[in-house]
Amino acid sequence: SMAEKGGFKHFMLKEIYEQPRALSDTIRGRVLSDQGKIVFEEFGLTRDEMRRIEKIYLVACGTSYHACLIGEYIIENIAQIPVEVDIASEFRYRNIPFEKNSLFVAITQSGETADTLAALRYAKKFGVKTLSICNVLGSTASREADAVFYTHSGPEIGVASTKAFTCQIVALYILSIGLSIAKGVFPKIFIKNLLEELLLLPRMAEETLLLDKKIQLLAKEVYRKPNFLYLGRGVNYPVALEGALKLKEISYIHAEGYAAGEMKHGPIALVEEGFPVVFIASDDLYLEKTISNIEEIKARDGFIITISSSKEEKLKKLSDRFIYVEGINSYLNTVLFSIPLQLLAYHVALLRGCDVDQPRNLAKSVTVE
Ligand code: G6P
């Protein structure tokens, strides 16, 4: 009913709109920004245990796997610890020569995904310390891991994950800051700044939701296209993967995410007049490179949709449709850019008459291998 959906037409839309609140619930109680500190106990790991970690394995399925890929960039930059990311169904059957002082992190909204649980058990068998980043309280992953960090996103009903994903990014951001503090990688003032920026996120997510009408109009222009390409660099590469997955899952349009720098090695062959390419770009050191990629798509008459925190004239001029998102920092912008991508998938699926909350062949939680 409309009532259980809080007046929204679908759970997915309700959950997209719940993000400002969900994000602040993930942050609350974990961050003491005025002191430039995080609450280590929230990770079930002591500061000393965090200090000793020399290698991190991030493992998950589906959308949670994309959060891992984002986490890889964040942890390597902020905590300067080497990270390896894998899909749980692959990880569980590998022969991994685990490095000592490793931390295995399972990321799972439900805490019940069979492959993710198998990967967690595999790591435990080798005596690796394990942490679950989970949303569902008391779930199997939360019980079986040595430590658990809850995202507190609230129940997610829509099969396509939205708020759970953006809260997972925040959890990884907080984890990376914890590790960074424990290892003393950066001066206190730098950490304090990262934490203060985090506190801006819920309000900025609220602002970003105001793009909904604009995205709805964009959806009307593109919903009949049979293929989409999503491109980003650096931490926005996994954002592109997730944008494509969201569209594919609920609208059944073929969509592919790619690293922008890799497009010339394949996907560019598909580009012809009107072919939609979604670019995701922060106002950072990657911007110039992304603009070059956009120029290459432009030269082939592709239809360029840009989602960016940059107001660079050249970027706007090259784009057929330009979606400006007020940014915070490159890491947290991944959360903000995900919002218009979720809304685009939602509106396109709606226009195509798809069952947004219950897409065919998909399950909310995959409890069998
Ligand atoms: C299913 C869902 C996805 C989810 C994935 C992993 O495929 O449809 O939305 O990302 O499982 O689920 P988890 O609960 O482990 O995050």
Would you state the structure tokens that stand for residue 11, as one six-digit string? 């759970």
Nearest residue (by CA) to ligand 1, atom 3, is 62
User: Which residue's CA is the closest to the ligand 1 atom numbered 5?
Assistant: 62
31-32 and 37-38 beta bridge pairing: antiparallel
Global pTM value: 0.98
Q: Which residues pair with 134 in a beta bridge?
A: 108, 150
At 32, give phi and psi (nearest 5°). -115, 80
- Give the distance (Å) from ligand 1 centre to CA of residue 175: 21
Task: Provide ipTM, 2 decimals.
Answer: 0.98
| Catalytic residue IDs | 364
**Of all atoms in ligand 1, which is nearest to the CA of residue 362?**
8
As a whole number of angstroms, the distance between CA 300 and CA 89 comes to: 38
Residue 213: CB atoms within 10 Å: 9
Concatenated DSSP letters of 140-166: HHHHHSSEEEE-------SSS-SHHHH
Residue whose CA is at the smallest distance from ligand 1 atom 15? 108
| Residue 233, CA distances (Å) to 249, 262, 313 in order | 23, 9, 20
- Report the separation in Å between the CA atom of 363 and the middle of ligand 1, taken as the mean of its atom positions: 8
**SS3 track for 54-88:** CEEEEEECHHHHHHHHHHHHHHHHHCCCCEEEEEH
Short-list 120, 123, 126, CA closest to 140: 120
Per-residue pLDDT tens, the chain, 369 aa: give them: 777 898 999 999 999 999 999 999 999 999 998 888 999 888 999 999 999 999 999 999 999 999 999 999 999 999 999 999 999 999 999 999 999 999 999 999 999 999 999 999 999 999 999 999 999 999 999 999 999 999 999 999 999 999 999 999 999 999 999 999 999 999 999 999 999 999 999 999 999 999 999 999 999 999 999 999 999 999 999 999 999 999 999 999 999 999 999 999 999 999 999 999 999 999 999 999 999 999 999 999 999 999 999 999 999 999 999 999 999 999 999 999 999 999 999 999 999 999 999 999 999 999 989
Per DSSP, helices labelled H in 210-332 are: 212-222, 236-251, 287-298, 313-318
| Cα 270 to middle of ligand 1, angstroms | 29
Report CA(334)–ligand 1 centroid distance (Å).
Answer: 19
| Ligand 1 atom 8: residue of nearest CA | 364
Probe target for ligand 1 pocket from 107, 137, 364, with the most ligand atoms within 8 Å of CB: 364
Q: State the distance between the two ends of the chain, measured CA to CA, in whole angstroms.
A: 33
Protein residues whose CB sits closer than 6 Å to any atom of ligand 1: 61-64, 108-110, 113, 116, 159-161, 362, 364-366
Please choose from 249, 365, 368, 369 the residue to mutate so as to test ligand 1's pocket, defined by most ligand atoms within 8 A of CB: 365
Tokens 């998950």 sit at which residue? 60
With beta carbons less than 8 A apart as the criterion, state whether 212 and 41 touch. Answer: no
Residue 146 Cα to ligand 1 midpoint, Å, equals 22
37 strand-pairing partners:
32
